Amino acid sequence: MKVAIIGGAGKMGRWFTRYFIKHEHEVIIYDIDEENARKIVRKWGIRLAHSNSEAAKLGDLIVICTPINVVPKVLEEIRESLSQSAAVMEISSVKSPVMSILRRISSSGIRVLSVHPLFGPGIEDPSGEKMALVPVHNVSSEISLAENLFPSMKILPIDLEKHDYIMALTLSLTHFINIVLASVLAKENLRELKNLGGTTFTMQLLISESIMSEDPNLCTSIQMSNPYTIQYLERFLSEAEKLMRHIHDEDVKKFSEFYREASSALSKYENLSDAYENMYRVLRALRNSEMNTSNP
């Protein structure tokens, strides 16, 4: 099968390029970053398209790996270039901005897939990893297509609204928290903080630093393209202000109540003692990995 990847020079674009090459498909890429696209083409010995439309004409499967806010424009641009036998897949982490154009393409008889890989481009082996699938037209046929393309992954069907509100919590909110944390820490002596920081700080800093390594356009889209983001950020800030007020007032009772209520709610779903042990287990694994890397 010929797989055309639009946005093939980005992190996830490169991941899908490697994935489909490994599974012995013929891969074509296009990216507005032509310099990096050419490097990838030379590295993998694959074909370079020179426009979105050319990529769409060449592919049996067209994979859109562009920023969220660009996906609708790309889909509009390639509509007339798609073969009736082709399939189009987009991987946005927010679905509300792209669904209407996907439905229009689907109504013309072209197969579409709206998936969201629930992992990052650092994953080497995707076996057992999860991929959300938001139905566009025919959920059973779309699940079947996704399972054929990604047989080792867990395909999780979920409706549009639920997907985006969950992403507002699991992506938008967590990114927001860590971007603010990075902004605060950036004004301090980070070397000193790392030297004296304990386990919790080390793990939190690792998450924050990994988020700050992302393309700022991706982080912007995660925050601004999701219609549910603002309500959860407002809720977070309201809770933060309430807790800060208890600290400011040195109100031990109200702080303890706030803490116990949150802890009790989390305990319904997870054993918090296990979570604490898991944090140490992850940190030990990271330190062992660092030692093995520095002492080959």
CATH of the domain at 29: 3.40.50.720
What contacts 143, CB < 8 A, 6 or more positions away? Answer: 133, 155, 157
Kindly state the DSSP code that residue 23 receives in the 8-state scheme: T
| 137 and 173 assigned to the same domain | no
The Cα–Cα gap between 19 and 91 comes to 14
- Tell whether the model's pLDDT for residue 271 goes beyond 80: no
Domain boundary among 109, 140, 158: 158
Give the pLDDT confidence of 144-175 residue by residue, as tens digits. Answer: 999 999 999 999 999 999 999 999 999 999 99
| 61 and 186 assigned to the same domain | no
User: Domain limits at 232?
Assistant: 162-294
Q: Of how many residues is the chain composed?
A: 296
Average pLDDT, rounded, for the chain: 93
| 18 and 143 assigned to the same domain | yes
Kindly state the DSSP code that residue 169 receives in the 8-state scheme: I
Q: Which tokens belong to 39?
A: 């490097």
Torsion angle (degrees, nearest 10) of CA 144, 121, 22, 99: 30
Which pLDDT belongs to residue 185? Answer: 96
Q: Are 222 and 163 in contact (CB under 8 A)?
A: no
Which pLDDT belongs to residue 293? Answer: 54
| 145 and 67 assigned to the same domain | yes
The Cα–Cα gap between 102 and 92 comes to 12
| 9 and 108 assigned to the same domain | yes
| 143 and 174 assigned to the same domain | no
Give the pLDDT confidence of 29-64 residue by residue, as tens digits. Answer: 999 999 999 999 999 999 999 999 999 999 999 999
The CA-to-CA distance between both ends of the chain, in Å, stands at 40
Number of domains in the chain: 2
| 19 and 73 assigned to the same domain | yes
Decide the pairing of beta strands 61-64 and 87-90: parallel
What contacts 188, CB < 8 A, 6 or more positions away? Answer: none
172: CATH: 1.10.3660.10
| 203 and 153 assigned to the same domain | no
Which residues face 112 on adjacent strands? 88
